[in-house]
Amino acid sequence: MKFLLVEDNVELANAICSRMQLDGHVIDHAENLEDAAAFSEVGEYDLILLDIMLPDGDGRTFLQRHRTGKLDTPVIVLTARSQVSDRISMLDLGADDYVTKPFDHAELKARCRAVLRRKSGNAKTIVQLGDVALDPVAGNLSIRDQVISLRNRELRLLELLMNAPGQIFPKTKLVDRLFSYDDDVSENAVEVYIGRLRKHLENTRVKITTLRGLGYRLDHE
């Protein structure tokens, strides 16, 4: 997916960018409203992440201009304010959602997915692998003409594996992705979800291979 990040704090922007790139997304960074306007006119973004307090103005003015300019790119606001009243006015102005800083990347991704699901027009994110197709936005797994609805953790795990077939994922890494930092889960918890995915993929040409001591790998013939 292609993101536009509008954030004046360079350190935070770098951190978000590197985290997003790690997940295989493309992300452009604008430091102020002027750049943001220029970027959003040229690039075709799936989603805009917008900070509210910017050096050359309020992110809300960008939001207003963005909406009146008939651009329907969804916008998720990154806010450092926690006042509920502020949040409400943000949604009124046409933001699709918001996350409060500091945020969990998994939460940000979950919100992006929810927003994209609502704006079902952009369904071009399907990952195809052999006879298996995954629509991460809708949360559907299509095996030939059969459509399976995945649970959230199954979906996130499969997305991760399908985006990098052949790559070995250690269990620890998968735990980080699937569970929040609140949950003190053992690495074995991943096995449950791997087991479920294997069951879904039983009659396909896509296989999840266990590499003892190393992790898991998605293979397809």
Partner 1 sequence: MNNRVGIIRSLRDRLAITLIGGAAVLAILLYLVVRSYAAQIAQQGQDSILAASVTSILDAAILRDGEVEVDFPYASFSMLSTDSDDRVFYAIYQDDELISGYDTLFHSDPIPDADHRFGTATLQNAEVRVASAARTLIGAQVTTVISVSVAQTQDALEVTLNRISRNAAGFGAGFFLLATALSFWATSTTIGPLKRLTSSVTRRGPQDLRPFEQPVPTEMEPLVASLNNLMGRLDQSLSQSEDFIAEAAHRVRTPLATVRSYAEATLQRVGKPENRHALRSMVKAIDESSRAAGQLLDHAMITFRADHLDKQDLDLGELVGELVRSLTPIAEMKDVRLQIRCPETVNVQGDAILLQNAIRNVIDNALKYSPAESDITISVSNSAEDRIAIRDEGPGFPENNMAMLADRFTRGSNSEGITGSGLGLTIAQDVVIAHGGHLVLANHAEGGACVTLSF
Per-position DSSP letters for 27-92, written without gaps between them = EEEESSHHHHHHHHHHS--SEEEEESEETTEEHHHHHHHHHHTT----EEEEES---HHHHHHHHH
Q: State which amino acid sits at residue 185.
A: V
199 binds partner 1, rule: CB under 8 A: no
Which of 5, 6, 16, 75 is in the footprint of partner 1 by CB under 8 A?
16
80 binds partner 1, rule: CB under 8 A: yes
107 binds partner 1, rule: CB under 8 A: yes
- The nearer residue to partner 1, 86 or 191, going by C-beta atoms, is 86
- The nearer residue to partner 1, 16 or 194, going by C-beta atoms, is 16
Contact call for residues 80 and 59 (beta carbons, < 8 A): no
Query: Half-sphere exposure of 212 toward its Cβ, with a 13 Å CA cutoff?
Result: 0
CA distances from 69 to 40, 47, 65, 116, 139 (A): 11, 16, 6, 20, 31
55 binds partner 1, rule: CB under 8 A: no
93 binds partner 1, rule: CB under 8 A: no
88 binds partner 1, rule: CB under 8 A: yes
- The nearer residue to partner 1, 123 or 185, going by C-beta atoms, is 185
Q: Under the rule (CB under 8 A), what is the footprint of partner 1?
A: 9, 11-12, 15-16, 18-19, 22, 53, 78, 80-86, 88, 97, 100-107, 110-111, 113-114, 151-153, 170, 172-173, 176, 180-182, 184
